Amino acid sequence: MTITWDAFGSTDPGRIRAGNEDAFRVDPEHGVFLVADGMGGHAAGEVASALVAKTAAEVLTRAVEGNGYEARFRDGLAEATRMAHDAIVTCCADDPRTRGMGTTLTACVLHPSGRLGVAHIGDSRLYRLRAEELEQLTVDHTWVQREVAAGRLGAEAARHHHLAHILTRVLSAESDYEADLLDERALPGDLLLLATDGLYNMLGDEEIARVLSSGAGLRSMADALIRAANAAGGVDNITVVLIRVNDSDVTAL
C-alpha cells in the first residue's frame, strides 16, 4: 500500500500581538511540513523562525530528492536540525541585533511508503487524529512537561502553570541543541496537525479533536481552529498545518 496526502497551513497573529513570530512550510510535493515559533523580541523572533523554517525546509527537500532517501530518513532530519542551528549561530554572530533569538522547530516528512519522520525541538506540537482518537506524538520540551513526567505536577495544573512558557530545549546560539527524532507510520485516514502553542494554550485536546473530527475540508478546519483560539483569547500567534493521509488506490479512482 502506498499513501498520498493533502495539506493546508495557516497562521494568524492572534488578538494581542502586533507581529507574528511563527513560521510554517507546507510542501505537499516533497511531503515536507513544519512549524517554527520564534522568540527573543519581536524582530529577532521573526528572523529566527523564518531562518530555521527556510533552512530546514531546504535541507529536507534536498534529502527527499536524493537517492535512497527512505533508508536515510533519520539522517535528513538530523541534518535539517543541525543546519538550522548553524544558521542561527551564524546569523547571531553577524548581526548583534539578533543575539538571544531562538525558535522551536517541529518538522515532519512523509514518504509514500507511509513512513513519517519527525524532528522536534521545543514546545510546538505534532498531533495525530486516528480513528477519532487525538494523540500528541511529540513531547514538549518545557519545564512543566518535565515536572509532569516526573510525577511532580498534574497535566491540568501544568496547562495553567505560571512557568508553562519556560522551554528546556530550543534552537538558539546560546545553547547546544538536541532534537527528538521520531520514526512513525502514517495510515490512510490519519489526520496530522502541526501547531504552535498559540493554538493549544487556548484550546484543549477535546476542542481540537472536535474540529478535526468534523469531516470538513482542511482549509475550513484550519480556519475553525484559528477562529476558536482567537475566540478563547488569542493571546499568542496561532499556526496550524493540517495533513490528511489518503490511500493512493482510493484517491486514484
**Which range touches Ca ion (CB under 5 A), out of 7-15, 87-95, 111-119, 192-200?**
192-200
The reply to whether 37 sits near Ca ion by the rule CB under 5 A is: yes
Nearest Cα to Cα of residue 24 among 173, 244, 242: 242
Cβ proximity to Ca ion, 20 vs 81, nearer residue: 20
The reply to whether 236 sits near Ca ion by the rule CB under 5 A is: yes
Which one-letter amino acid corresponds to residue 224?
A
Residues 184/122, Cβ–Cβ less than 8 Å: no
The reply to whether 46 sits near Ca ion by the rule CB under 5 A is: no
Beta bridge partners of 39: 102
Q: Could you give the CA distance from residue 144 to residue 164 in angstroms, rounded to a whole number?
A: 6
**Which range touches Ca ion (CB under 5 A), out of 4-12, 37-45, 142-150, 221-229?**
37-45
- Residue reference for cell 485536546: 205
As measured in angstroms, the least distance from the Cβ of 145 to Ca ion is: 15
The reply to whether 190 sits near Ca ion by the rule CB under 5 A is: no
As measured in angstroms, the least distance from the Cβ of 88 to Ca ion is: 17
Nearest Cα to Cα of residue 7 among 26, 32, 29: 26
Residues 36/49, Cβ–Cβ less than 8 Å: yes
Cβ proximity to Ca ion, 190 vs 236, nearer residue: 236
Burial class (CB in 10 A: 0-12, 13-18, 19+), 76: buried
As measured in angstroms, the least distance from the Cβ of 24 to Ca ion is: 12
Cβ proximity to Ca ion, 16 vs 157, nearer residue: 16
Q: Could you give the CA distance from residue 212 to residue 237 in angstroms, rounded to a whole number?
A: 20
As measured in angstroms, the least distance from the Cβ of 245 to Ca ion is: 27
Cβ proximity to Ca ion, 31 vs 198, nearer residue: 198
The reply to whether 197 sits near Ca ion by the rule CB under 5 A is: yes
**Which range touches Ca ion (CB under 5 A), out of 61-69, 78-86, 155-163, 189-197?**
189-197
Q: Quote the DSSP letter at residue 36.
A: E
DSSP codes, 156-210:
HHHHT-TTTT-BS--EETTS----EEEEEE--TT-EEEEE-HHHHTTS-HHHHHH
As measured in angstroms, the least distance from the Cβ of 21 to Ca ion is: 7
As measured in angstroms, the least distance from the Cβ of 93 to Ca ion is: 25
**Which range touches Ca ion (CB under 5 A), out of 5-13, 64-72, 221-229, 233-241?**
233-241
Element (H, E) at 78: helix 73-94
As measured in angstroms, the least distance from the Cβ of 17 to Ca ion is: 9
Cβ proximity to Ca ion, 20 vs 98, nearer residue: 20
Where does this chain bind Ca ion (CB under 5 A)? Answer: 37, 196-198, 236
